[in-house]
Amino acid sequence: MDPSGTPRGSSTSGRSSLLDSLRGFTLSGVRIQKEELRKKITLPEYLRLAMREAIRGKDASASAVVRFHEAARAADGAEPAEWPIVVFVNSKSGGRHGPELKARLEELMAEEQVFDLSTVKPHEFVQYGLSCLENFASLGDTCAKQTLEKLRIVVAGGDGTVGWVLGCLGELNKQGTGSTVPPTGIIPLGTGNDLSRSFGWGGSFPFNWKSSIKRTLDKVARGPVVRLDSWQVLISMPAGKKLDTPYSLKETEETPLDQELEVEGELPEKVSCYQGVFYNYFSIGMDAQVAHGFHHLRNERPYLARGPISNKIIYSGYSCKQGWFFTPCSSNPGLRSLKNILRIFIKKVNSSKWEQISVASSVRSIVVLNLPSYGSGRNPWGNLKPDYLEKRGFVEARADDGYLEIFGLKQGWHASMVMAELISAKHIAQASAIRFELRGGEWKKIIYANGWGAMETTD
């Protein structure tokens, strides 16, 4: 008995019942039934099995794949899911929640709809899985056609993983098949999760994740679609040692940079080119050096970076080690001021001409930003007043405005104040295209970024 005279068993049972009831509701108060959700998001069996076979065999037109379509046509009873969803899980992201999360997702939908990125890469899904649906649709399969039109993607991982998947899905625009890019939702498993934060998916993996996954899937299914700019990046540098690049950046054939702007000085005889896309931001200078060091440490000693908190502690340690706070400790004078090695050309808002902009001698890091979130949820660009926007020739920054924001950080102390949102970063420019030239006494590399379209994500 408890002090009120109520039997303990009754009290516990009532408390448990209340918690189960609360867990079944979304934030809007709509109850989510597990079996009802499963029914609405699970693809018909013949489509799931056909896609799996196409991906395994790396052939969307194989006879073993087409047989699933023929069997379904003979049965004449398959109905498309109301909200067909496919999930990619990065089991190495964040706090290594991937395996448990994958098992939970397989409880809520068919296991063939949940892909571990360690075994199935997103480009394989696009090339063979989606092509399988396209082939069936071309054969008059109404169920496959509607599934393709309604399909939504969920990525469980960090910002790098989400960008990797979005980049592969974006290839649908280039293929010219007529297939639209599926809207994408996020389950945040990374350290900063700035892309996830920007579209309302959260800044960290939820503590009560087992119950929140249903709400996330329901949100993916029902939520409106909003747009996200994607930006093409081309790197041209003297030929030599190959770069250790992320998934989003691939080596490509020699590609000429924009011919409207002549490059001063002697060009290298042979160059290496890399091309890719980005969605969040990229840095040049001390900020990039710190991120590069952290990336290599995490790859070499993954046991040290097993979650967002430990990752941020290690990142902070690198910030001090690299001379970010103590400029005189930096032995390379070029790192003390980007002005010594960097030139920036941009195309401003409503302009098609290249214009060179100056870099203050105090700036030690240049950041190009596409989102309202940077460094785990900060907004270094700030919410600028209309008078200031008009004075600088800026427009209000959004993730789908077709422009990038360029700002500078002076040193660690200045960056700390910006990250604490006590001050804004040093506004440099807002542009629809950017060209960086980096030299260290002689030619080193050129980076050219140009917006080419838009990606979609669900909110």
The per-residue pLDDT for 7 is: 30
- Both tokens of 255, joined, read 């590609």
CB crowding 141-150: b at 16 or more within 10 Å, else e: bebbbbbbeb
Q: What's the pLDDT at 292? A: 63
Strands 184-188 and 443-458: unpaired
Distances (CA, A) of 445 to 240, 280, 391, 456: 12, 22, 33, 32
DSSP lists the bridge partners of residue 186 as 155
CB 436 within 8 A of CB 288: no
* Cβ count near 249 (within 10 Å): 17
DSSP-based three-state secondary structure for 430 = strand
Question: Which stretches within 94-158 are classed as H helix?
Answer: 98-108, 122-124, 131-138, 142-150
| Grouped pLDDT means (10 residues each) for the chain, 459 residues | 32 32 40 87 95 95 90 78 95 72 92 94 95 93 94 93 92 70 91 90 81 89 90 84 76 74 71 88 77 65 60 59 48 58 85 87 89 88 92 92 92 78 88 84 40 33
Distance CA 77, CA 71 (A): 10
Q: Helical H runs in 259-285?
A: none
At 11 the pLDDT is: 31
Query: What pLDDT is recorded for position 291?
Result: 67
Q: Measured between alpha carbons, how far is 403 from 398 in angstroms, rounded to an integer?
A: 8
- Would you say 231 and 451 are in contact if contact means Cβ atoms under 8 Å apart? yes
pLDDT value of residue 327:
45
Residues in a beta bridge with 232: 277, 450
The secondary structure of residue 333, as a DSSP letter, is G
Separation between Cα atoms, residue 292 and residue 318, nearest integer Å:
10
Please tell me the pTM assigned to this model.
0.80
Instruction: In whole angstroms, give the CA distance from residue 365 to residue 415.
Output: 9
**Domains parsed from the chain with CATH numbers:** 15-223 (no CATH), 230-453 (2.60.200)
* Cα 44–chain centre separation: 29
What pLDDT does 440 receive?
61
d(CA 1, CA 402): 66
Q: Is 138 exposed, middle or buried (0-12, 13-18, 19+ CB in 10 A)?
A: exposed
By the 8 A CB rule, do 156 and 189 touch? yes
Q: Distances in Å between the alpha carbon of 204 and those of 222, 303, 421? A: 22, 20, 20
